[in-house]
Amino acid sequence: MYFLENKSDLLKVIQVIIVSGSYDETIQLWNASSGILIKCLKGHSDAVSSVQFSRDGNRIVSGSRDKTIRLWDASSGEQIKSLEGHSDVVNSVQFSRDGKIIVSGSSDETIRLWDVSSGKLIQSLEGHSSSVDSVQFSHDGKIIVSGSRDKTIRLWDASSGEQIKSLEGHSNSVSSVHFSPDGNRIVSGSWDKTIRLWD
């Protein structure tokens, strides 16, 4: 049993925070219970298309139509660094589980891997023939899945950057892809109005 020393300890235990990105160019942190705005992060010069907390909750990564990826301190709201290299809109960003790498998908048709510590580009994955709208690491961090407006879902080796396979079946843009927790399934959502489950 754990006894709370004071009210501030209680807040630490029960507070759940939601992060959101908006067309108003801001990132906002919200108290999930009360709905109260906690903090507003400003720095992007165009719409924020994707945001995510690191697994430990200490950092936030954001992708924007201004073609940049930005890393933020979740406690202070201060920008840590800006990652630049994409030549078009950054549609999707995600931390690896260990928080050391960021994967990004862009309308420039590339997927890029970035070192969180240095902010340097690790590698660029190429193969899609249209905008990459969704990217995600597998649970073990070894595979990346991507969904694109070229109607395909692709699997990539996160270490080598090599394409493993292309999953075809959607008849329109693939807007969202996600691994199951065990990594054996992928669920995809598409503009063709279907949701598909893949082995």
Q: What is the full per-residue pLDDT of the chain (199 aa) written as tens digits?
A: 233 344 455 445 457 899 999 999 999 999 988 999 999 999 999 999 999 999 999 999 999 999 999 999 999 999 999 999 999 999 999 999 999 999 999 999 999 999 999 999 999 999 999 999 999 999 999 999 999 999 999 999 999 999 999 999 999 999 999 999 888 999 999 999 999 999 9
Contact between 87 and 67 (Cβ < 8 Å): yes
For the chain, list the domains and their CATH numbers.
Answer: 15-97 (2.40.10), 127-198 (2.40.10)
The predicted structure's pLDDT at residue 3: 31
Reported as half-sphere exposure (CB side, CA atoms, 13 A), residue 100 has a value of: 4
The predicted structure's pLDDT at residue 72: 98
The predicted structure's pLDDT at residue 14: 53
Tell me how far apart the terminal alpha carbons of the chain are, to the nearest angstrom.
43
> Could you write out the DSSP letters of every residue in 160-186?
T--EEEEEE--SS-EEEEEE-TTSS-E
